Structure 1
């Protein structure tokens, strides 16, 4: 079995507990009433603005009560935490949608809906500055030779800028990562270097909306979640490798599965990895953890110093409840979206209930962060009799796109959404563990999600555990390898996957080189927890 380092998949590599800072800003001091009647939007925005303006950030405290919020909150400073008195004590009540707040972002023309909010955007946004391989300042060195998965040592063209213990980010790009996943050639949005704008084509979006940080973050994030408009799994043909695969083909097992077109299967910087420098030698640096992907000397591999602008921020101990509304067709989301986080490291979202949402918690370009003790639910079904066959209550409850080494644990999805747990666009080394759902599905949304772990999860009814979607032409749903104790899907899910449990029809062992094993007495029920325990025991020795 290919064992990957999921033990480091959680906030701060699991070396530290979730941050617990003292309260610095109380929303009551900014005029919030918390009585469920008064409009508290300006008071909450003022409290968050004060935290953003403080160089050290701080906890924004919402005492027990119900706070009416009808516009957006944006956290842009490290160490800013929104904290309630508990999910059963503090509620943020949102009576409207993002399309109500932002003019021109949702239109219905002759029954054809176009929405900016079908997969991204949130009433509460955590927004950092995007790191990119295009920047020269953070560049430490170019990778100067071949690297194999599992290698600790990187050949580099210079070691002059490296220091022991230094946090680094490694990117690999080649012709397979030249695509712009939004499917548009528009100019980049302001403040988002290297990102193509998308999501507003055909919409009458005014300039003031385009300059809003919530909208800009949604544009940057939404590029990773396109799906075929008919709601199908997207299709796409397989490729003959024809020689050694590029970066995108490597993700799909050297083109063993459908790895999309020769260029554009992935977007720039989707193949990424973070680590610390453990040692420095003549022409090489050694990392504190093994590489999770290969590098070839004819690809563009670079090592940058890790410089996140947003870290140690998050949200805890409260409920976000939307006014009940009916959910429409696929892609018709009006934007009853709770939380989006874009470009952050070491973020956390803990002890949160989200009620009546289209989209719940969406992580985009977020790494080494933790989502735990989150419940997604409805006050009553959001579908009518005409939609009883599908019975969908929304779109994406929990999503990880273009992020790695995140832990999503102890979650509960108590109704049926279209895509309950989604990984997309290079999402890798993420662990989903100890969760449950009413009729849970694990959505591999194409464009190279790979090496994600799903373990100790109760899928409920189990009628659709591997139903997946994603944009056509972006390769197979999943790359190599993931491990899930669930029933086996079709071979088109992807190559080199590991399955441990009781399964039927293991017909892809040869074609896709799947590893299929039964659980035995020595098998851990939760692989992530077992890896963390083993790593901690080794460090003590």
Structure 2
């Protein structure tokens, strides 16, 4: 219902059902008075008629009491200490069949830029300013020799068509900066109906190119071999790489050539205007991003770079990497690739050869080893490259520079770190720390004043002993106004920015944008998934350092990993089905059929929506490594895990997700050195289990993360009821609507959905997109 302007007469009486504007006013309704002229608007923005609304201490508008009651004739007692009155909240918003949250209201009227929830209306392709484009199918793989019969190897023909399309896209002359051409022009490579056998990975490295089929039931991309079978085990396929890729170039805070200005003062969450040292290089309409150059203290950085404790002496050896060549098993002279390998010196590996380094070489070599180690658990010892079926003597194809870049980027983010064993084996959320619901502050590793401490609620929970060197924030916005010494952003900040973090304004830069894969099935040969970290590389999509890209209308069959984004922004993954021809899992994988289903790492504004999991992965949906402002919405699965993989993930949304059987909705994993599972301001909205109609889902333990929001049918924390203590609900004390789970220290907002009532809006992401103009006055494109 529209709000009346401030000072205007109230509208005609509402129908008998209670309307939101009957209940809120003032601070909660943009200054509007109560609709009922007999009701007072109190200082908390609520309408009522008793003293908590109308007396002089509480009333902000309406028929307020003119003055406080006169004192008693008897000599007054010494007055008690003055305290703010407890805000009065009605029981709920809505009626018997519908319910609205106090974090949102009906149309976002209870939301504000400084709300506990950030604005997610920019999550997805082009910030939802423009629809995903439909480029003309200028190139057809059949014209380049593809057969599509499922027998002939069509790898070279498809690659040739993409190369030709990339040349045509480059000739469009799109701008190289900002959002480039905003997807207004491009070309598509068509794979007509058929079954295309592919034995190499496909890569998009040019903006404005799409690979398109003719529908999931008509076009099939068949991969008969895994990445490890083709390229060997030099890569850790459990957490990296894919057959269908987008590869750009990472630009972070070290890319100072794109730095436009520096903040000159601290600003608070919800702010749009930023004080900067210079605004000369910034124009209205330009897309910019914010990086924190120094999120950690100097002493913390010194600790990170300190020499490791005494260890075994290191040695060096040379490895000759084979390539896919002629009929001999030997390496063709002149084509071999020599790798210098550093590894610990151990008695049991002496037979492998290698020279022990001199004492003065140990220190730099040890740092090299720390930088390059893989997650194989072999202390850096390279295992033999094995390709093809067991017992076969097939040569591996040469690992390309693109793959080495996959490895460097993944390991730079710590994706190779081990996961907590108890979590990997299926406990709800692991047992890395004690439940802090009692109010005890959690042990924390981050120094006070650092961005890490702030993102973990000022160390309300464990903030990690092994932090990353990567970006904590990667906020993106269009500039809406510019003045001397300041700029104004279109989007409000979702967090505070402090001067000591040395926040700077950069131009938004991504080399590869406006690319996508759509309308086909990805099918792998069925194979056993043997163990958690032993995936063979049946990996579908891998997007690395790309922006404004998409995967949509795709089916994936028998995959180890479905789709991952790493160092990406403004991505849409829509209408993806993941299924298995039969069970692939074993006891070692908890009988899960794959490792990661859909996964975002070190990414922002990524939207996963309309997904359908017809089988279980160890981690169905995952957020990892400072992923932020991402959203999973309106999807379903047979028994889903919504995995918060540690590493400072903050300001993300999970909305309207059917977790199926509901046995593991918050099961999460990740290396315990990365801190608690979640950093601040993540929201779970309307999560439900169709396999348990009407049942409530136990929220995770209180040490899961700080400042979290749960709105829906929820039960007490999984591990114990310790969080149910003391004030914390908006009403000040636990109530049926606000049970005050984990209210102390970690300051959760838990809002209970009433039995029989439907939570509206069901998809909070969609509601934010629809109301963006009214709430923010922002450009809708």
With the length of structure 2 as denominator, give the TM-score of the two structures.
0.63
Q: Cα offset for 1:61? A: 0.8
Distance of 1:420 and 1:228 partners within structure 2: 18
Distance of 1:424 and 1:249 partners within structure 2: 18
Q: Cα offset for 1:402? A: 0.7
Q: Cα offset for 1:215? A: 4.0
1:3-28 CA-partner distances (Å, limit 9, x unpaired): 31111112111111111110121111
Distance of 1:480 and 1:464 partners within structure 2: 22
Residue 494 of structure 1 aligns with which residue?
705
SS at the partner of 1:347?
Answer: strand
Q: Does 1:27 align with 2:141?
A: yes
Q: Does 1:514 align with 2:748?
A: yes
Q: Unpaired segments of 5 or more residues in structure 1?
A: 106-114, 188-195
Residue 770 of structure 2 aligns with which residue?
533
Residue 603 of structure 2 aligns with which residue?
403
Q: Cα offset for 1:537? A: 5.2
Larger RCO (alpha carbons 8 Å, 6+ apart): 1
Residue 153 of structure 1 aligns with which residue?
273
Q: Cα offset for 1:526? A: 1.3
Residue 194 of structure 2 aligns with which residue?
65
Residue 295 of structure 2 aligns with which residue?
174
Q: Cα offset for 1:152? A: 0.6
Q: 1:209 to 1:158 in 2, by over 3 A?
A: farther
Q: Does 1:253 align with 2:490?
A: no
Distance of 2:610 and 2:233 partners within structure 1: 38
Quick check: 1:236–1:473 contact (8 Å CA) kept in 2? no
Distance of 2:211 and 2:194 partners within structure 1: 14
Residue 112 of structure 1 aligns with which residue?
none
Could you tell me which of 166, 169, 172 is aligned with 1:52? Answer: 166
1:385-429 CA-partner distances (Å, limit 9, x unpaired): x56x82210100100111111111100111011000000111111
Residue 191 of structure 1 aligns with which residue?
none
1:31-62 CA-partner distances (Å, limit 9, x unpaired): 00001111111111111222233304621110
Residue 512 of structure 2 aligns with which residue?
310
1:360-403 CA-partner distances (Å, limit 9, x unpaired): 1001111111110000110111025x56x822101001001111
Distance of 1:242 and 1:325 partners within structure 2: 43
**Bigger CA drift: 510-519 or 282-291?**
510-519
Quick check: 1:266–1:426 contact (8 Å CA) kept in 2? no
Q: Cα offset for 1:439? A: 0.5
Quick check: 1:236–1:258 contact (8 Å CA) kept in 2? no
Quick check: 1:401–1:423 contact (8 Å CA) kept in 2? yes
1:442-496 CA-partner distances (Å, limit 9, x unpaired): 1111110111111100000111111111122111111111221342111221111
Distance of 1:11 and 1:297 partners within structure 2: 31
Distance of 1:458 and 1:82 partners within structure 2: 30
Q: Cα offset for 1:212? A: 2.6
Q: Does 1:212 align with 2:401?
A: yes
Residue 415 of structure 2 aligns with which residue?
225
Quick check: 2:601–2:623 contact (8 Å CA) kept in 1? yes
Quick check: 1:152–1:286 contact (8 Å CA) kept in 2? yes
Residue 241 of structure 2 aligns with which residue?
121
Could you tell me which of 342, 363, 367 is aligned with 2:544? Answer: 342
Quick check: 2:266–2:498 contact (8 Å CA) kept in 1? yes
Could you tell me which of 405, 417, 427 is aligned with 2:627? Answer: 427
SS at the partner of 2:562?
Answer: strand
Distance of 2:383 and 2:574 partners within structure 1: 38
SS at the partner of 1:4?
Answer: coil
Could you tell me which of 716, 726, 743 is aligned with 1:505? Answer: 716
Residue 297 of structure 1 aligns with which residue?
499
Residue 83 of structure 1 aligns with which residue?
212
Larger Rg: 2
Distance of 1:49 and 1:78 partners within structure 2: 12
Q: Cα offset for 1:310? A: 1.0
Residue 192 of structure 1 aligns with which residue?
none
Distance of 2:404 and 2:707 partners within structure 1: 38
Quick check: 2:683–2:709 contact (8 Å CA) kept in 1? yes
Q: Cα offset for 1:211? A: 4.1
Residue 193 of structure 1 aligns with which residue?
none
Residue 176 of structure 2 aligns with which residue?
none
Residue 470 of structure 1 aligns with which residue?
670
Quick check: 1:122–1:214 contact (8 Å CA) kept in 2? no
Quick check: 1:209–1:215 contact (8 Å CA) kept in 2? no
Q: Unpaired segments of 5 or more residues in structure 2?
A: 1-102, 104-115, 173-185, 309-339, 342-370, 386-395, 424-429, 434-441, 688-696, 718-722, 724-741
Distance of 1:8 and 1:310 partners within structure 2: 19
Quick check: 2:117–2:681 contact (8 Å CA) kept in 1? no
Distance of 1:216 and 1:226 partners within structure 2: 14
Distance of 1:499 and 1:537 partners within structure 2: 25
Quick check: 2:419–2:669 contact (8 Å CA) kept in 1? no
Residue 524 of structure 1 aligns with which residue?
761
Distance of 2:771 and 2:237 partners within structure 1: 42
Q: Does 1:319 align with 2:319?
A: no
1:192-241 CA-partner distances (Å, limit 9, x unpaired): xxxx6564843358998554313422431353434535633476564358
With the length of structure 1 as denominator, give the TM-score of the two structures.
0.90
Quick check: 1:70–1:96 contact (8 Å CA) kept in 2? yes
**Bigger CA drift: 120-129 or 518-527?**
518-527
SS at the partner of 1:473?
Answer: helix
Quick check: 1:125–1:340 contact (8 Å CA) kept in 2? yes
Residue 92 of structure 1 aligns with which residue?
221
Q: 1:216 to 1:436 in 2, by over 3 A?
A: same
Quick check: 2:419–2:670 contact (8 Å CA) kept in 1? no
Could you tell me which of 199, 202, 215 is aligned with 2:381? Answer: 202
Distance of 1:71 and 1:242 partners within structure 2: 44
SS at the partner of 2:519?
Answer: strand
Q: 1:353 to 1:19 in 2, by over 3 A?
A: same
Q: Does 1:37 align with 2:155?
A: no
Q: Does 1:458 align with 2:673?
A: no
